[in-house]
Amino acid sequence: MNTFSKIYPGLENAFVGIYDLSYAPYALGDVITWQVNLSVMMLENDYHDIVQFVVADPLNPASSSQSHITTANYLYHLNNLFPAFLCCPHTRLVNIVRDKGMLNAFLLSRLFRKNSTWPSVYDHFRNRIDFASHTRINRFFVNHGYIPRLDSPKGYEKYVGAFLNMHYKDSFKVAVNIRQRRFYRSVTLEDQNVTLRDSPTDEWYRFFRIVLEKHPEVRFFVLGGYTEWERDLCNYKNVVIPRTLGLNLGHELSILHKADLFMGTSSGFAAAATFSETPYIITNFLHSAADHIGLPVGTVRYPFALGHQILSWEKESTELLVHLFENGYHELKENVSRSNE
């Protein structure tokens, strides 16, 4: 306890969040949802800020469900994911912890003082965390009429704002993420069910071409790592790929928060949009996720959704994408024009 108190002063005044990668996944959507749940817990326990402990134990770097992450490569995966932990405005510190034993000793001492962590110390020692459920978030909205929302990762927003203003000031900016798990490492038998959630790229590409003809001022920013998009997209005049410009996940999340609209498959970036103030159209929503989010299949909006934040549970077709886009484009464009005046 004394060691942690010296390194991280003021911990007694902060709500502590624990994301232990030995049992919590290296996954953008889960980290995003975890931070919103963490913010809800902070507010319900009358704290004003958060200190995060991200546990990356070299001897046990990942859960059995992500066996491809090993002692040899876990730092690569952690580095790629880390900007996602910077999206919570209430977060004061994010600490990477390699010595899990020292952290657990600190948590035990905190338990005797006050149980102000999430997951609880009890659940953490049993490798349990409800990182994906919206149950707590939905209940908070019913009780308070709002939810704590996430923002651009700290340290990225100014650069991305200047970048967009310099190159795309007069464009209608649409952040896009098309789930393509089939491109992500060699697909094993256990991964084949995951690829069923992939979206049909040909339908999206036709959609991009139609929008280019009808609305040449629209620019689509395709988000995701090099394994998540096809190189043919580089030939589309209305498509920008941030990774080809040397940008990373932190910049992409900031683009999402500053975009005029997000469109994308139900996946990690869609979770970031869900808890943002950005208008969005989330497509191909996974039916089996209905229980996790507490909504019946086919529900058009989250209960806490803001203006023009829409869910679509159908597999994408070009016609559906055009319809969803056109349904809100003109209104959103007018709102953007008024805000720029």
Out of 3.40.50.2000, 4.10.640.10, 2.60.420.10, 3.40.50.2300, select the CATH number for domain 157-340. 3.40.50.2000
In the chain, CATH 3.40.50.2000 sits at 157-340
What pLDDT, on a 0 to 100 scale, did the predictor assign at position 186?
Answer: 45
Task: Say how many C-beta atoms besides its own lie within 10 A of residue 292's C-beta.
Answer: 14
pLDDT in the model for residue 13: 82
Q: Which pLDDT belongs to residue 240?
A: 97
Please enumerate in sequence order all residues whose Cβ is within 8 A of that of 96, keeping only pairs 6 or more positions apart, or say none: 54, 56, 78, 82
pLDDT digits (tens, 9 = 90+) for 24-57: 999 999 999 999 999 999 999 999 999 999 999 9
Q: What pLDDT score was predicted for residue 189?
A: 43
pLDDT in the model for residue 337: 64
Q: Are 299 and 329 in contact (CB under 8 A)?
A: no
pLDDT for position 116: 82
Give the pLDDT score at 132.
82
d(CA 197, CA 283): 11
What confidence score (pLDDT) does residue 269 get?
A: 96
- pLDDT reported for residue 187: 45
pTM: 0.92
Tokens standing for residue 130? 């409800």
* Residue ranges in the chain whose pLDDT is less than 70: 1-10, 110-115, 181-197, 336-341
d(CA 45, CA 48): 9
